[in-house]
C-alpha cells in the first residue's frame, strides 16, 4: 500500500460506505485510484478529505463522495463506452476507466487537459482518450455512448449529449443556476427519455455553446 493508502481506506469507510455508496465495484475502485496523484503536491495531504479541492484555473476536483455517487448512478457493468464532459484533474475519468471499457473525456482548458493526460500516462490508464474542446457539443465521432457524465453545472441538458446517448443509456448532469444545481439523471429506454432529480449540488460552470456563455 502506498503512504496514502490508509487515508484512502478511511475515505471509503467513513465518507462512502457510511453514506449510501453500496456498489462494491465502485467502492473497490475508489479504494484503488490514487486521488492524491490528481492534485498539486501542496494539496496532497488533503486529497482524501471530505471536500472538493482547487485544481488550478479556478476549477475544482469534486468531493470523493460526489464522484462515487455520480459514478454509482451510472450503473456501469464493465463493457460500456462512457463520455465525460469536464476532465479537470482527470480523477473522475480515472475512476470511470476502471469500471467500463473505454472513456472519452473533453476539457476546454488546455493546462488542465495537459495535466490530466500526464497523470493518465503515469498511472498507465490507457483506456482514456481526452481532447480539448467545448464538450457541450459532445464528441459525435465516437458515439453513441452507454453513459455520459457532465462534471460542470449548466442551465439545461445540452441537446447534442441527449442525441449521442445510446438507447438504453444514462446521462448525469448538474442543472440549475450558477450557484446551485439539481443533479439530474436522464434515462433513455425504448425510445423514451425520463429525468430524475437526485440531489442538490454545487458545481463550477459548464461554459460553452449549450452551457453558460462565461
Ligand atoms: N471531473 C473533474 C472535475 C473538474 S471541474 C475532475 O475529476 O477533476 C469541471 C471541469 O469542467 C473544469 O475543468 C472546466 O474547465 C470544465 N468545463 C467547463 N465547461 C466545459 C465545456 N463546455 N467543455 C469541456 N469542459 C468544460
Quote the number of domains for the chain.
1
Nearest-atom number in ligand 1 for the CA of 209 is: 22
- What mean pLDDT comes out for the span 129-152? 98
pLDDT value at residue 1: 61
Distance CA 138, CA 140 (A): 6
The whole-chain average pLDDT of the chain stands at 97
Q: Is the pLDDT of residue 214 over 90?
A: no
Q: Out of 58, 61, 152, give the residue to mutate to test ligand 1, the one with the largest number of ligand atoms within 8 Å of its CB.
A: 152
Distance CA 14, CA 152 (A): 26
Residue nearest to atom 4 of ligand 1 (CA): 88
209 CA to centre of own chain: 20
- What mean pLDDT comes out for the span 136-164? 98
Ligand 1 centroid to Cα of residue 104, in Å, is: 13
**pTM of the full structure:** 0.98
* Structural domain that includes position 112: 52-201
Show which residues are catalytic. Answer: 62
The domain that contains 142 carries what CATH number?
A: 3.40.50.150
Distance CA 207, CA 210 (A): 8
Length of the chain: 214
Q: Is residue 173 situated within a structural domain?
A: yes
Strand 81-85: give its sheet, edge to edge.
Answer: 128-132, 102-107, 81-85, 145-150, 165-176, 181-189, 192-201
How many CA atoms lie less than 13 Å away from 206 in the CB half-sphere?
29
pLDDT confidence band for 125 (50 / 70 / 90): very high
Amino acid at each position: 500500500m502506498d503512504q496514502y493508502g490508509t487515508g484512502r481506506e478511511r475515505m471509503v469507510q467513513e465518507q462512502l460506505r457510511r453514506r449510501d455508496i453500496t456498489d462494491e465495484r465502485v467502492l473497490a475502485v475508489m479504494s484503488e485510484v490514487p486521488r492524491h496523484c490528481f492534485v498539486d503536491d501542496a494539496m496532497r495531504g488533503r486529497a482524501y478529505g471530505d471536500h472538493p479541492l482547487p485544481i488550478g484555473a479556478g476549477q475544482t476536483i469534486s468531493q470523493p463522495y460526489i464522484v462515487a455517487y455520480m459514478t454509482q448512478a451510472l450503473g456501469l457493468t464493465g463493457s460500456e463506452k462512457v463520455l465525460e464532459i469536464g476532465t479537470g484533474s482527470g480523477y473522475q475519468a480515472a475512476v470511470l476507466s476502471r469500471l467500463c471499457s473505454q472513456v472519452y473525456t473533453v476539457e476546454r482548458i488546455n493546462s488542465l487537459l495537459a495535466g490530466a493526460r500526464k497523470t493518465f500516462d503515469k498511472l498507465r490508464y490507457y483506456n482514456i482518450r481526452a481532447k480539448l474542446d467545448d464538450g457541450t457539443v459532445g464528441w459525435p465521432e465516437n458515439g453513441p455512448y452507454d453513459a455520459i457524465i457532465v462534471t460542470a453545472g449548466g442551465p439545461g441538458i445540452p441537446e447534442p449529449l441527449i442525441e449521442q446517448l445510446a438507447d438504453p443509456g444514462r446521462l448525469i448532469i448538474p442543472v440549475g443556476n450558477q450557484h446551485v444545481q439539481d443533479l439530474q439523471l436522464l434515462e433513455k429506454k425504448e425510445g423514451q427519455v425520463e429525468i430524475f432529480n437526485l440531489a442538490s449540488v454545487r458545481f463550477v460552470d459548464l461554459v460553452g455553446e449549450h452551457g453558460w456563455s462565461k
